[in-house]
Amino acid sequence: MKKISFFLFILSLSSLVIAQPKHDDIINACSACHGLDGNGISEGIPNLWQQPEAYLKAQIEAFRDYTRINPSMDAVSHELPDADILYAAQYYSKQPDSSSRSKEQPQLQWRGDKWPGDMMLGEKIAYTGKISDKIQACVACHGPSGIGVAPFFPRLKGQDKTYLIKQLNAWKTADRPPGVMGVMVSIAVSLTDEEINAVADYFANQGEKK
């Protein structure tokens, strides 16, 4: 009787193991473009390291549900189960920024380090917004130095410049959902191409790159 009970226990345990989702498969698929450490493998691919978990989860779900469109993401996202989406979001949100391994931690800033009139264009938009169009500073939502504010405001610090430009233009042309509170469309529309390039360049160069 004991042998039968032990056999049934092992059988049930084996079933549980077999039933576990192969989460490594989703990370391997993601890493083809985003790297295992969340650093995009080429220009135009977003860096995912330390993005808020809820933000990443919401974006993958948007690709899966066709509310956000991208040819590369379409190939991998449309059949993803909730468990894999959550696992991928958790995995990349925990990948460290290379600057976190540095002996000297960069000081985060809520304000630019110069008088607004003396700031370069990108820094000025990041920390003062665009007063003429009643556009608030980027860091008001995205945090000091663009570090990101959980749960829904993504990290801009160290993000790929080409990707940032592409997303601002996508909001400008209504090719991407407006985002949290629906503010990104009005912000993007107010920015000239020069301003988009400048603010993207500023945030891309904050902190160390991986």
User: Is 58 in contact with 152 (CB distance < 8 Å)?
Assistant: yes
The CA distance from 159 to 45, in Å, is: 9
pLDDT at res. 84: 96
pLDDT at res. 207: 64
Using CB atoms within 10 Å of the CB of residue 178, give its burial: 0 to 12 exposed, 13 to 18 middle, 19+ buried: middle
The CA distance from 168 to 172, in Å, is: 6
pLDDT at res. 76: 87
pLDDT at res. 168: 98
pLDDT at res. 105: 58
Those residues of the chain that have pLDDT short of 50 are 2-21, 101-103, 209-210
Domain span(s) for CATH 1.10.760.10 in the chain = 21-96, 108-204
Structure-block tokens of residue 104: 């000297």
Q: What angle do CA 141, 76, 16 make, to 5 degrees?
A: 100
User: Which residues fall within 8 angstroms of residue 71, CB to CB, at 6 or more apart?
Assistant: none
CA distances from 147 to 172, 189, 205 (A): 23, 23, 12
The CA distance from 113 to 62, in Å, is: 37
pLDDT at res. 99: 58
Decide which of 2.70.150.10, 1.20.80.10, 3.10.580.10, 1.10.760.10 is the CATH code for 21-96. 1.10.760.10
Specify which residues 149 forms β-bridges with: 153
Statement: the pTM of the whole predicted model exceeds 0.75: yes
Report the interhelical angle of 121-128 vs 193-204 (nearest 10°). Answer: 80
Domain 108-204: give its CATH code: 1.10.760.10
